[in-house]
């Protein structure tokens, strides 16, 4: 080391470097600053995604809503979105879909319809044309309630009841097939 200037202090602290040497304190502080920024950023993002991770772990139905609220809170800095997302992640909403699907499956099984094919032959309401009174337009629609188009004959009323109804009307209501009714005197 060269001779010290007579006005310089004789004892220099260790963080002061000689000219031309590497400033160790500056390198350590730069690495510490980079590590602190990365650590705080990761902590912020982990805390920010907490509601989404809670909803994902417990397989909540409202997971997508919680995720959207988290993104809104991140990009708009409106913290109420994060709070609402956290509350939604912690609350169990009732599952109405599963019981309704089970009921629909049971009804299809009772009706003899293959599972999932219950509404296959039903036309959408948008496909039928409606008249001014809200009913099917003339010439459109199906079934007994459809109005005929102009010039068409109206469908004839059934002249004879179906076979099952004919069998029911032939026997008196009190008599069952195979049983005889004793006359009272």
Q: Residue 27 has what pLDDT? A: 94
Return the number of other C-beta atoms located less than 10 Å from residue 56's C-beta.
Answer: 14
In a domain, 61, yes or no: yes
The token pair at 157 is 């009323």
The confidence score (pLDDT) of residue 113 equals: 83
Is 4 a domain residue? Answer: no
Distances in Å between the alpha carbon of 139 and those of 121, 131, 156?
A: 20, 10, 16
Residue 41 inside a domain? The answer is yes
- Helix runs in the chain, H state only: 24-48, 50-57, 63-76, 79-90, 97-111, 163-170
Is 157 inside a domain boundary?
Answer: no
Find the length of the chain.
185
In a domain, 172, yes or no: no
Low-confidence ranges of the chain (pLDDT < 50): 157, 166-167, 185
CA pair distance 153, 158, nearest whole angstrom: 15
Token pair listed for 146: 């459809």
- The total number of structural domains in the chain stands at 1
- At residue 167, the pLDDT reads 47
In a domain, 166, yes or no: no
Q: Which residues contact 103 (CB under 8 A, 6 or more apart)?
A: none
Domain assignment present for 72 = yes
Q: How much is the pLDDT for 174? A: 53
Residue 94 CB neighbour total at 10 angstroms: 8
Tokens of 117: 């094919």
Q: Give the separation between CA 49 and CA 86, rounded to whole angstroms.
A: 9
pLDDT for the residue numbered 40: 97
Does residue 48 lie within any of the structural domains?
yes
Query: What domain range includes position 40?
Result: 24-90
11 three-class SS:
coil
């Amino acid at each position: 080391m060269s001779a010290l200037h007579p006005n310089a202090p004789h004892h220099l602290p260790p963080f002061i470097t000689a000219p031309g040497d590497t400033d160790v304190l500056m390198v350590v502080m730069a690495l510490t600053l980079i590590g602190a920024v990365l650590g705080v950023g990761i902590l912020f993002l982990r805390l920010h995604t907490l509601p989404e991770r809670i909803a994902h772990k417990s397989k909540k139905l409202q997971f997508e809503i919680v995720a959207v609220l988290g993104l809104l809170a991140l990009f708009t800095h409106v913290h109420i979105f994060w709070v609402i997302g956290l509350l939604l992640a912690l609350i169990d909403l009732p599952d109405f879909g599963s019981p309704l699907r089970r009921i629909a499956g049971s009804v299809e099984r009772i009706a003899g319809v293959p599972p999932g094919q219950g509404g296959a032959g039903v036309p959408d309401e948008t496909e039928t044309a409606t008249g001014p009174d809200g009913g099917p337009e003339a010439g459109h629609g199906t079934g007994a309630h459809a109005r005929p188009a102009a010039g068409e004959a109206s469908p004839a009323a059934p002249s004879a009841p179906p076979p099952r109804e004919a069998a029911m009307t032939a026997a008196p209501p009190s008599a069952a097939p195979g049983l005889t009714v004793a006359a009272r005197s």
